[in-house]
C-alpha cells in the first residue's frame, strides 16, 4: 500500500530497526515502546487487519513471536511477554502487526531504542 509506513520499511524506502526478517515477516522495534524490547511482528504482505489474515500467515506470525520471546528472554532477561493486537478504532497503522511487549519482574527505566536494538541484533 502506497502510504503505509510498514510497507515503506519492508520495501526499504525508509529505515527501520529490523530485529529479524524472513520471506514472510519482518520484526521491527516499536518507535514508541511501552517497555524495553517492545517490537512489532509485521507480515511483509499488506493485510489491513487480522480479519484479513489467512491461517498460514497467522501461524508464521505466531512462530516468529515464539522466536522473539526466546530472544528477549536470553538477551534482555525478560520474565514474560504480552502479545497485543489492536483492531478497528485502536489500530493506528492499518497494516496488521502484533506487538510483542517484554515484561520484567523489576520496574525498568526505558532506555534508548538503539541501546536495546544493539542487544537484540
Give me the CATH number covering residue 51: 3.30.428.10
pLDDT of 4 = 94
Instruction: Please give the grid coordinates belonging to residue 117.
Output: 536494538
What pLDDT is stored for residue 102 in this prediction? 98
Q: How confident is the model at residue 91, as a pLDDT?
A: 83
Note the pLDDT of residue 88.
Answer: 82
pLDDT for position 90 = 84
Domain span at residue 86? 5-120
**Whole-number pLDDT of residue 100:** 98
95 is catalytic: no
DSSP string, 59-109: HHHHHHHHHHHHHHHHHH--SEEEEE---GGG-SSSS--EEEEEE-SS---
Please give the pLDDT value at position 2. Answer: 73
Query: Which one from 38, 95, 97, 99 is the annotated catalytic residue?
Result: 97
How high is the pLDDT of residue 43? 98
Q: Give how many domains the chain has, as a whole number.
A: 1
Grouped pLDDT means (10 residues each) for the chain, 121 residues: 89 96 98 97 95 95 98 97 90 93 94 96 89
Amino acid at each position: 500500500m502506497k502510504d503505509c509506513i510498514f510497507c515503506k520499511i519492508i520495501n526499504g524506502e525508509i529505515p527501520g530497526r529490523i530485529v529479524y526478517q524472513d520471506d514472510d515477516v519482518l520484526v521491527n522495534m516499536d518507535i514508541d515502546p511501552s517497555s524495553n524490547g517492545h517490537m512489532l511482528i509485521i507480515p511483509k504482505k499488506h493485510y489491513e487487519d487480522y480479519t484479513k489474515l489467512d491461517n498460514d500467515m497467522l501461524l508464521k506470525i505466531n512462530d516468529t513471536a515464539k522466536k522473539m520471546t526466546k530472544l528477549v528472554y536470553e538477551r534482555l532477561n525478560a520474565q514474560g511477554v504480552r502479545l497485543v493486537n489492536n483492531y478497528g478504532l485502536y489500530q493506528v497503522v492499518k497494516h496488521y502487526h502484533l506487538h510483542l511487549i517484554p515484561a520484567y519482574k523489576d520496574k525498568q527505566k526505558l532506555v534508548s531504542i538503539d541501546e536495546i536494538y544493539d542487544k537484540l541484533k
